[in-house]
């Protein structure tokens, strides 16, 4: 982890739905090179918080900064150009295209040519090079030519990361990348995320505590819309209130 201007800063975010306060004065930052895990029980407000970071939901008050720039009023696509990428934001696989072609199309779209199908992305060596590099980083180099429909569930999660990686992000917001994975696939994903952390800071929203403690430099705990604890994995593991409220035996 390096020091410098945080790639993400949430400053006093508040969001109401009627009388329900789903974001309750949230302060959180992610440093360059850091993997910062956000954990909390179902209904804690994690999805709403992610929506605000991405620009799909506007906060009622507070500010969101990406790389030191106030983006609170900016649309999602502007935030992508500022360096934000989300694994769960990616368009679904086109099953009739290979894994490589899907990633190349994503790279083409990010270059501003998302409908240039008369000149297929698969024929563009520059796009192919970007796509192959991303697939190699996520451990799918040997599956590049497999049709997307033939990828396993775990491989599709890895592919989503490749799609995010071609955006060359400063920050990757990953929403439960371990969801639905078996033990071996989870370990493979942990290894992939360790490699990706060399390229971008990561905000990891995850329920798998083994993965969280294996990957996180810092952990923040969100309960009923409020950050109730934040610190190193050792600090969070030793917090008796957090253990009682959320971690339980998994700690």
pTM of this structure:
0.88
pLDDT tens per residue, range 161-211 = 998 888 889 999 999 999 889 999 999 999 999 999 998 999 999 999 999
pLDDT tens per residue, range 117-159 = 535 555 677 888 999 999 999 999 999 999 988 999 899 889 8
Plot region of 92 (φ>0 → left; ψ -120 to 50 → alpha; else → beta): beta
Whole-angstrom Cα distance, residue 140 to residue 146? Answer: 10
Whole-angstrom Cα distance, residue 86 to residue 227? Answer: 21
State the Cα torsion 47-240-34-138 to the nearest 10°.
Answer: -70
pLDDT, greater one: 240 or 76:
76
Beta bridge partners of 70: 65
Q: What's the mean pLDDT in 204-231?
A: 94
pLDDT tens per residue, range 72-82 = 999 998 998 89
SS3 annotation, the chain: CCCCCCCEEEEEEEEEECCEEEEEEEEEEECCCCEEEEECCCCCCHHHHHHHHHCCCCCCEEEEEECCEECCCCCHHHHHHCCEEEHHHCCCCCCCCEHHHHHHHHHHHHCCCCCCCCCCHHHCHHHHHHHHHHHHHCCCHHHCCCEHHHCCHHHHHHHHHHHHHCCCCCEEEEECCCCCCCHHHHHHHHHHHHHHCCCCEEEEECCCHHHHHHHCCEEEEEECCEEEEEECHHHHHHCHHHHHHHHHHHC
Confidence of residue 248 (pLDDT cuts 50, 70, 90): low
Whole-angstrom Cα distance, residue 132 to residue 140? Answer: 9
Nearest to 14 by CA among 66, 65, 54, 52: 52
Question: What are the structural domains of the chain?
Answer: 1-83+169-251 (3.40.50.300), 91-168 (no CATH)
């Amino acid at each position: 982890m390096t020091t410098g201007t945080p790639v993400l800063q949430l400053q006093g975010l508040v969001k109401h739905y009627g009388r329900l306060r789903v974001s309750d004065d949230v302060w959180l930052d992610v440093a360059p090179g850091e993997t910062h895990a956000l954990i909390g029980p179902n209904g804690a407000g994690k999805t709403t918080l992610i929506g605000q970071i991405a620009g799909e939901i506007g906060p009622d008050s507070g500010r969101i900064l990406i790389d030191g720039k106030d983006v609170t009023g900016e649309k999602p696509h502007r935030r992508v150009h500022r360096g934000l990428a989300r694994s769960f934001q990616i368009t679904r696989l086109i099953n009739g295209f290979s894994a490589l072609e899907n990633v190349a199309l994503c790279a083409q779209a990010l270059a501003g040519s998302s409908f240039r199908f008369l000149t297929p992305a698969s024929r563009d060596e520059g796009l192919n090079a970007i796509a192959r590099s991303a697939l190699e980083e996520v451990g799918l180099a040997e599956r590049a030519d497999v049709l997307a429909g033939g990828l396993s569930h775990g491989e599709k999660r890895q592919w989503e990361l490749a799609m995010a990686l071609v955006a060359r992000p400063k920050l990757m917001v990953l929403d439960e990348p371990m969801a639905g994975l078996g033990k071996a696939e989870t370990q493979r994903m942990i290894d992939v995320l360790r490699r990706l952390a060399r390229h971008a800071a990561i905000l990891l929203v995850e329920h798998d505590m083994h993965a969280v403690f294996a990957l996180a430099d810092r952990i923040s705990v969100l309960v009923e819309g409020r950050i109730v604890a934040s610190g190193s994995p050792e600090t969070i593991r030793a917090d008796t209130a957090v253990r009682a409220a959320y971690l339980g035996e998994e700690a």
